Amino acid sequence: MGLVQAVVGSVGGVLADQWKDFYTVPAGLPATAALFAAVPQGTNAGRGSNTKGSTNIITNGSKIVVPEGYGLLLMQDGAITGFAAEAGGYEWRSDDLNSKSIFAGDGLVSSLIKQSWERFKFGGQPGGQQLAFFVSLKELPDNRFGTQSEIYWDDGFLNTQVGAVTRGSYTLKITDPILFVKNFVPAKYLQPGQVFDFTDIDNAAASQLFNEVVGSLAPAFSIYTNDPAKGNRITKLQQDSIGFAKSLSAAVEHAYQWSSDRGLAIVKTAIISIEYDANTKELLKTVQRADALAGSRGNSNLQASVAAGMQAAGENNGAAGLVGIGMAGGMLGGLGGLQQPVAPAAPAADDPLVKLKKAKEMLDLGLITQADYDAAKAKALGL
């Protein structure tokens, strides 16, 4: 009893031509749909072997098409009785000894599915009627996250606690459909016509995932920024969607066991914005200045700064200011062989010898008289 693999890789026209009716994925599904019932796709001139056809019910002789990117779950009274993750056509047979209950293939989910199947497989004889559901095995986009106030974490590079308000989105992947359905999906979605969508605002289970992601953001930032392989830089977060997704997935798994208990994983992230708090912004400015002063460019900037400082000191404080700069230059001498310019010491403006020298020069040029010179001399010498 179970599924018979009819045509591997055939997902439409061939089966429609050969069989009276068959079931497949409904049309018009949103890209974020994760779980939904299989629907019948019409009849074909009375041909086929379906002996007990019923709407939204899979019965003996029914045909099911599994498109690429989806897994098929057969259920009886709430228990999973069959699964197929290989794209193609299948026939449900309750009396065929060669039929199987599971087709996991050799893809990404195969090992997980086989483990879960052995753990949860239906132990008794399935009834004559089976409900069929499809589970998306694709990346499910547009799952949003965001914080209303700052979250804080310890940053290894800045060596302090930093804070930010952030928002973005992530893609989810169902890695184990059996775990996902048995342990997470509410019973209301295991009915024909229902669609489990992670982005549905009325989906309480999806809202719980949102809250858990928000609660894991601070640990995820800490994991990422304290990883030496990432350069310990929070500024790289927005450039590394896969790297941060791994950190976020690790934080979520540690706190809520998404993968081991629910068969879910975060694959990629897109951080739309990060608004750091005031203290973190100042720290980042300091880091930027330090980066700008690194290497040969930094040596040029430092030389220009020292030269400007010496000029200002010479203008404002005379020789005393330049002596101070000279001492500072000695302390900075080890910075990359920085060469400090040397300026001659300026004479003090009120030195008597300087005043007499200027007065003598003015007398020689005829700008003052001998009497003027004698008076300046007497004043300078305090006579």
By C-alpha distance, which of 88, 24, 23 is closest to 61?
A: 23
Extents of the domains making up the chain: 2-136, 140-179+197-283, 293-334, 352-381
> H or E stretch including 102?
strand 102-103
> Residues in the chain with pLDDT < 70?
1-2, 7-21, 42-60, 94-130, 230-233, 291-350, 383
Provide the CATH number for the domain formed by 140-179+197-283 in this structure: 3.30.479
Q: CA separation (Å) from 363 to 347, 353, 355, 373, 381?
A: 21, 15, 12, 7, 17
Residue 230, helix vs strand vs coil: helix
pLDDT given at position 54: 47
pLDDT for the residue numbered 159 = 80
Strand pairing class (63-66; 79-84)? unpaired
User: Is 0.85 surpassed by the pTM of this model?
Assistant: no
At 248-278, the pLDDT tens digits run 999 999 999 999 999 999 999 988 888 889 9
pLDDT tens for residues 342-351? 555 555 556 7
